[in-house]
Structure 1
Amino acid sequence: MYQNIEIYLKIIDWDKRLRREMPVLKEIINSIHHKNNKKPLRILDIGCGPGIHLLELAKKYPDYNFYGIDRDLNMIEYAISESKAEARHLKYISGDVLSDSFLINNKFDFIFSLGNSLSLIWGESSIENLLGRISESLNKDGMLFFQILNSDNPRKGYKKSNIIQISDDQEVFTMKRFEPDFSQNILKVEFISFIKKKGDENYEHQVKSSVWKLISMKDLEKILKKIGFSDIRFWENYLKAPLKLKTSDSLICKAKKIKKV
């Protein structure tokens, strides 16, 4: 998403994000632990980025085994460097869940994916193929939890970040542009980084484009049921507010694996 990991790390308010997202992750983990006869769990973060969520979880649950996978090698290298104290039970893999054998060859009790990571991945594959691969990697009664944008109310236009300092002589801000194309059922997304060096009048910019597939909540629910999930819940935020199809910005889903298909 971001071409410079330093920008990614500084442009996000991580303390605020962790306060918002971690409670529900811990709640799910605790519920699985209780139902799993308190055995150590295996937990995977798909699109883990710099590993900030996993590191927090590994500190909280030192007896569990945590894994993170991301196709961005720079993100993985950073995550590894920051997690040396937890390296015994926290592993990172640079890879692609669509082509690598990692998901096929391992089983997990809990798989989660935040920050629209699944939308980035299934833009290159069928949604059912990706979710099916995830389903195969979950143990029976395992949990899937993810966040994506709400396709029933797709974003339009621009979203700008605050200006931040990334060094003594550089400042940066980012902008995301969203353009839904309903004729092709896709969302065109541009991530733009604007960087200005001290003394310069104008910003230089870098653009990275991607295409995300739009999928309605009803179609997503159908796929999840087809590949063996039940107890499917949809929320608009991490406080579990019910998803409002026509107004909610994000879609958050929790589902339980019930059988092999």
Structure 2
Amino acid sequence: MAADTSVPHSRSLALRSRPWILTYHSVSDPTDDPYGITVSADRLDEQLTWLRRRGLTGVGMTALLRARTAGERGLVGLTFDDGYADFLDEALPVLLAHGCGATVFVLPGRPGGSNVWDPLGPRRPLLTEDGIRTAAAAGMEIGSHGMFHRDLTALSDDELRQETHDSRDALRRLTGHAPAGFCYPYGTADPRVVESVRDAGYVYGCALAPGSLSGPLALPRTHVSHADRRTRLRAKEVRHRLRHRRAASGPGDAR
């Protein structure tokens, strides 16, 4: 069954604190990984085991935001950027074994392609259109990562619209559901980019360190690497809480 992507409108997402959201990329052999974005399936299993032992459940972004709006706790957002093909064989079985969900941010402009934007490291295949539908059918939320993985802050207005609006339309046609969420490539955004995401109809946007931007369209996340085990994960959780414990500036702000 595909994930339910119906969420409250962004103006109703009055989050009293920033939710903890973990950022993954490829789940495969981390040996040749110059960017530190690959974890093995065994390490992912270890990380999810740590979360579950602490009474935390990993979920997709829509489920996380809906639960926080309702005042529920005990959930952590799990996100997988770029839509690598290894998600199906390596990450998905581990997630399901732990009773966890996730949001997979994909590139509808590169189905079955590879991470050509990375100048270093191995070429890693991306999900095909069938692979994206398979992930959705397994209960994972599908979000947009733009069409081609470009730095949105450097694009013209027309190019930016293609990345935000056109990618949403493409995923609607592909999965039958318009994605609720957008993930900024490279984790970067600015007010013009955020406004384009808002105008396209997304309910939330995921960055890494959004800086002065705030609100549901500029949610910060925590990068997870293969080196992150119990002690490092705990330290990252504490750092997140210290950085983001103050209330978000406003339920609809991202300026």
TM-score range, shorter chain: 0.3 to 0.5
TM-score by length of 2: 0.37
The structure that is strand-richer by fraction is 1
TM-score by length of 1: 0.36
Greater C-alpha radius of gyration: 1
Tell which has more relative contact order, 1 or 2 (C-alpha 8 A, sep 6+): 2
The structure that is helix-richer by fraction is 2
